[in-house]
Structure 1
Amino acid sequence: MLYSIGYTGLTVEDLINILQAYKVTHLIDVRSKPFSRDKAFNKSALQRALANESVGYLWKGGDLGGLGEITDNNLTWLKQFQSDKVACVMCMESDPIKCHRYYEIGKRLNRLDVVVKHIKVVTTPRLKFWIMGEEGQETLL
């Protein structure tokens, strides 16, 4: 199972709560540069926070980031990786349609028979999240 999420507007705690709600076991960071103005989302800090909650962390921005070419081999790796896990690719952009994880990862994986469920998040007035295309299935925290 493969999800995607963008963290803009979230705290690390919000992100972890959402990952836990979908039973995600591995977060795959697909930011080309794994750094943020919010230091909690810098690679090492995020990796520690996720480890404390038993969520694995992989930075794959060099292979699956938005600044370079995403090869078929890298998509095949992702297809195989997620085949026996509940994984989630993460980038900064909260709207999947404005992010490479929708077009460059999601659409291309669909052609390889992998369904990517894009998590949409709204943070005001209260944290709500749902799978894109399944708006009736929202969850409130």
Structure 2
Amino acid sequence: MRQGNSIFTVGHSTHSMDKFLQLLKAHQVTAIADVRSSPYSRHVPHFSRETLSEALAENGVAYVFLGRELGARSRDNSCYVNDVVSYDRLSNTSEFQSGIHRLLDGRKSYRISLMCSEKDPTECHRTILVAKRLVEIAVPVVHILGDGSVEPHEDTMLRVADILGMPRNDLLRSERDVIADAYKFREKQIAYRRRG
């Protein structure tokens, strides 16, 4: 896969800052778009917004917080169904669309990686919500895995289908159908739920 015009994703997980920076450098990432709704971490405080932004700047990597636009915890009540975020509703808000446009504009000057906290992209909204919308508008997405290897988005979604036990060798269902169902089922598992 040609990665030159791709948008990457990465999870900071419990990496040290040095390891995280190595992952970015290995893939020539020049800008991080932080898509966490809350850009702070008690468990790995070096990934809190201010500390992270400073460390990235010291290493020539730009930082932008897009958690308001592209985060999974919407402040818009119309995005909730029975106190659970609907990714379809969220992705159709003007705020979300604004975040997508910022990524599209940014990739003209930067090699961007979305960043969230989850190590595995199959467990994160950066894949099931944000990357889904990007690939719908023909933006290639590549996930940087914890070991430094990369995985094209379609392969990640097929892995989601496998994790969910969805059959892929069905005569009556295309790979596209399997991936569409994988998005729906994974969203039900990971979408933000408000506490009542």
TM-score tier by shorter-chain length is 0.7 to 0.9
Q: Deviations over 1:9-32 (max 9, x none)?
A: 211111111101111110111100
Aligned residues: 128
1:89 corresponds to 2:108: no
Q: Which stretch of structure 1 is more off in the superposition, 14-23 or 81-90? A: 81-90
The one-character-per-residue Cα deviations of 1:51-85 (angstroms, maximum 9, x if unpaired) are: 11010011110111111234333223222222332
- 2:66 maps to which of 35, 60, 78: 60
Aligned to 2:47: 41
In the TM superposition, 1:45-124 aligns within 5 A as 45-68=51-74, 69-70=90-91, 71-121=96-146
Give the aligned CA root-mean-square deviation in angstroms: 1.5
Retained in 2: the 8 A contact 1:109–1:116?
A: yes
Supply the AA of the counterpart residue of 1:3: F
Q: Decide which structure has greater strand share.
A: 1
3-state SS, counterpart of residue 148 of structure 2: strand
Tell me if structure 2 keeps the 8 A contact 1:79–1:109: no
Kindly indicate whether residue 51 of structure 2 is the aligned counterpart of residue 26 of structure 1.
Answer: no
- Cα shift readout 1:99-124 (whole Å, capped 9, x = no counterpart): 01101111110011101101111xxx
**Partner of 2:36: helix, strand, or coil?**
coil
2:135 equivalent to 1:129: no
Where 2:114 maps in the other structure, the secondary structure is strand
Return the TM-score normalized by structure 2.
Answer: 0.62
Do 1:8 and 1:93's aligned partners in 2 also have CA atoms closer than 8 Å?
yes
Q: Which blocks of at least 5 consecutive residues in structure 2 are unaligned?
A: 1-5, 75-89, 156-196
Asked which structure has the greater CA Rg, the reply is 2
5+ residue gaps, structure 1, are: 122-127, 135-141
Alpha-carbon separation, structure 2, partners of 1:98 and 1:48:
27
Structure 1 or 2: more helix by fraction: 2
AA matched with 1:59 = F
